Amino acid sequence: MQKILTALVLGVASLAALAQTPAPGAAAGDAGTVKFAVNGMVCAFCAQGIEKRLTKLNETGPLYINLAQKVVAVQPKAGMQLDVAKVKAEIVEAGYEVTATQPVPQTVAAIRAEMKAK
């Protein structure tokens, strides 16, 4: 019984350590799809300006911008990671305020479908 308990405790400790270990190739500040809450976007020209800046980044894949919800969702290209600080800086330099940043497990397509359903 003692051996089983010890093995269980070691297994839980190993899983906890594994959960805190970054994925291979991931650096601090990197994430998968990220949703940004952005103030100041009021028209299609605003969305176009943000889209133009973000598509110039090498790691940026699909984008979704929702003016009504004040959301910009960015997904990295396949096999790449987003530098969240870099993306946020691009939005700020375009003249908008980023009020929140949230890594999410969904793809941009799933976020688009979710937003349309609201």
Q: Where are the alpha helices (DSSP H) in 2-103?
A: 2-20, 44-55, 84-93
pLDDT for position 31: 56
Residue type at 21 in one-letter notation: T
* In the chain, domain spans: 29-117
Quick check: 87 and 74 in contact, CB under 8 A? yes
DSSP 33: E
From first to last of its 118 residues, the chain has per-residue pLDDT tens of 455 434 433 443 333 333 333 333 333 344 589 999 999 999 999 999 999 999 999 999 999 999 999 999 999 999 999 999 999 999 999 999 999 999 999 999 999 999 888 7
The sign of the CA dihedral 102, 105, 107, 109 is: negative
Q: Structurally, what CATH architecture does the domain formed by 29-117 represent?
A: 2-Layer Sandwich (3.30)
